[in-house]
Each structure stands twice: as C-alpha cells, then as structure tokens.
Amino acid sequence: MKIYLVGGAVRDKLLNYPSDENDWVVVGSSPEQMVELGYHPVGQDFPVFIKPQTGEEYALARTERKSGHGYQGFTFHTAPDISLEDDLIRRDLTINAMAEDENGQIIDPYGGQQDLQDKLLRHVSDAFTEDPLRVLRVARFAARYHHLGFTVAPETLTLMSNIVASGEIQHLVAERVWKETERALCEKSPDIYIQVLRDCGALGVLLPEVEKLFGVPQRADYHPEIDTGIHTLMSLQQAARLSDSARVRFSVLVHDLGKGITPDDVLPSHKGHEARGLPLVKDVCDRFKIPNDHRQLAMAVTEFHLLCHKAFELRPETILKLLKGLGALKSAERLDEFLLCCEADARGRTGFENREYPSSDYLREARKVALQTDISDLVEAGITGAEIGTQLSLRQTAGLTEFKANYPNII
C-alpha cells in the first residue's frame, strides 16, 4: 500500500502558487483495508475515504469507463493491482496528472512538468473527450493561470470543440455548470473563462444570451470598443479588479444582456436595453438555479445601472426611488455591491479603464441624507401607517433637494 499526493496540490506546489487542497491516491489497497486502518468511507460512485485526523480525502486508485452521458456517465473499477499511472492517465490535464510520494519525489508520467514550464493546458489522453465537464474545467484553469501566461494547447481546444459538437455538453447538470462557472468567476481572470468557452463553441450552448452580445455594435462615442461582447469582457476584467465577490462578477457578466436583442433598425442605439435584459437575466438564473442573492443583485444592476451612471442628473425624487429600489436604505452592502458593478461597467470601455467614478460617493452620501431624516415629531403626534411613510418620503426628498443643490462636486 502506497499513498501519493496528487492533482492540484502538486501542480500549485511546483508553480509556487497558493493552494488549500490536498487530494490523495492510495495504490495497492482495498476498501476493507482502508476501514481497518481507521479511514471513514464516503464515496458512493467509487471508494473515497476521509482520514479523521485531517479531514482530507483519500481515493483508491481507479480506472473508469464511459457508460452514459454527462460527467456522471462512468463506471469505475478499483483493485489493489491498479497502478498510479493507470489512475493518472484518466485525468484531464497533464499538469493535474502528477503525483508526489512520501519522500517528495515527483511522479510525472505524462509530461506535466514540461507543460508547466511551457505554460500549456494540455490534455493527458483522448479519454479527455469522454467527460464534457472538462470543457468548463479547462476554461476555469485558463482563467486561473492566465496572468502567469498559460494558454490552452491548440490540440486540446480542438478536443473541446469536438465535445461541444457532439452534443455531450448539453447533458451537463445545470447545478454543476453553475458550480464551475462560479468558481471561474472567482479566479484572477474571469473574462478568460468566457473567452475560452466562446473559442470552443460552448458559450453559445451554455450561455447563448452572452454569446449574442458579440458582434453587436454600440455608439462609438460612449463605447470606443464598439462591440458589446468585448465591452462585457472588459467590464468583467474591471469587476475582478474591484471585487472578489462572485455576486458582483456575475452581475457584471449579465448586466447588458438586453443589448443582444436590440432590434437591428435602431442600432447602434440601445435605448431600453435595461428592461429588455431583465427577462433574460431571470432565464439565466432560473436555468442554472443561481442563488437568490446573486439574482437580486444581477436584476438590480441590469435595471438601474444607467441611472447610476447619470446620478448627478437625477431629480431628488428619482434618487430616493433608486435607493429604495435597490434596498439600499436597509443595507449598505447592497448599495456598495451595486456601485461596484456600475463602476466596473463604466470602466469596461477602451480608454476609460482608470477613470474615477464619482457616482459612487454621490449616492453613498445621498443614502446618508435619506437615513438621517428626522420624523420623531410625527411619531409623537401619533401619525402612523401609510401617512407616516408619505411624510417620511416628502422629508427625504426635501433633504435630497438641499443635498443636490449643495453637493461640492456636482456636475
């Protein structure tokens, strides 16, 4: 019985890259022996065990055979005579098919170390095409390591395109697609995830609403980059600069979906794209069962981002309506995340990447004014119900009117 550290921990150790995952493969053992040694079985599809002292997973070396559709369509075989090389050859990328023994020696039968040096994401074997989830995984690794210079090997991208063309990717479970996408959004270069999916044809299958943005023109005076899809990628780059939040990054990704269905006869204008985009954002959220907090922020950004850009032009009544619509009077975090999304959108344009975004400070100060409105005299007078709400709004509007007139940076 031998135990090897495998996969991401070995890869990131060689890259000197932060990693918090340790996966282990056990060669020459059996489920019965693992239990005797005190490991706790947890695997249903194949034998995986938890070491109580560390909580880390130990999997018996295995082979697998395609038996159905999707990433779950496999049968697995474990036995004491299955070698480490037999286990590693079934993995997705060469850089994930390395192991380290107890003495720190690297076992690298498929060229992972060379591909690390060459900064290549390359498949291990033709078995790569049997698991459609690997299309998303490779795109995610591309997003993770793009800043280090990594690219997808051309032959691997061809196999990814073949998986898409075969229709296998349509068999992926929606929740698993979202899990990979959410992880990719949290990588250093989430825009690369979208670009790689587009390069292999997967974006049009999984997120056709985003795919439709590419090639759609915008007014050059507002958007020097012109192409709406390029603007979306640039905005996602800015979101990654501004926030680590998956909510923020997802909301930026989908904020302009309405531009993908702008009638041709009005292009390059996109008037009304906010309202057109709301049903599309809802469809995406429904399709992938996206968490409610992500959905709420994405819908708010889609509907109100243009108002935020024009904050200094808004009437006091409209400012109050915006703050209420965002739920900003109840939660400072909601306003902050919304403003980050809008700033990413504003900066996601050629030549605007480092511009200041004064709307953020303006609306934060407006929120303070609205929250500081005093109605204690109304409460003492016994006014309640809808009437006190009406009076509160009137006083908040008056306060915002004075605020707008005296704001030192008003345009």
Nearest-CA neighbor of 87 among 4, 19, 152, 9? 4
Rg of the chain in Å (alpha carbons): 26
Handedness of CA 266, 268, 269, 275 (dihedral sign): positive
d(CA 335, CA 196): 32
The answer for residues whose C-beta is within 8 angstroms of residue 295's C-beta and 6 or more apart is 281, 282, 285
Burial code of 319-338, b = ≥16 C-beta within 10 A, e = fewer? Answer: bbbbbeebebeeeeebbbbb
d(CA 178, CA 306): 27
Task: Please report the DSSP string for 304-368 in residue order.
Answer: HHHHHHTGGGS-HHHHHHHHHHHTTTT-HHHHHHHHHHHHHHHHSSTT-TT---THHHHHHHHHH
Task: Please report the DSSP string for 386-409 in residue order.
Answer: HHHHHHHHHHHHHHHHHHHHH-TT
Residue 268 preceded by cis peptide, ω within 30:
yes
CA distances from 153 to 68, 118, 119, 150, 221 (A): 27, 10, 9, 9, 38
Nearest-CA neighbor of 156 among 186, 191, 115? 115
d(CA 266, CA 183): 37
Please tell me the pTM assigned to this model: 0.90
Alpha helices in 68-170 (DSSP H): 84-88, 112-118, 133-145, 154-166
The residue assigned the tokens 């006014």 is: 383
d(CA 310, CA 357): 11
3-state secondary structure of 376: helix
**1-111: what CATH class?**
alpha beta
Domain ranges of the chain: 1-111, 367-406
Measured CA angle at 161 (ends 158, 167), to 5 deg: 145
The per-residue pLDDT string of the chain (411 residues; one tens digit each, 9 = 90 and over) reads 899 999 899 999 999 998 877 889 999 888 889 889 999 888 666 688 989 888 888 989 887 665 445 455 446 667 777 889 989 998 999 999 999 999 999 999 999 999 999 999 999 998 899 899 999 999 999 999 999 999 999 999 999 999 999 999 999 999 999 999 999 999 999 999 999 999 999 999 999 999 999 999 999 999 999 999 999 999 999 999 999 999 999 999 999 999 999 999 999 999 999 999 999 999 999 999 999 999 999 999 999 999 999 999 999 999 999 999 999 999 999 999 999 999 999 999 999 999 999 999 999 999 999 999 888 887 777 887 788 888 889 999 999 999 999 997 554
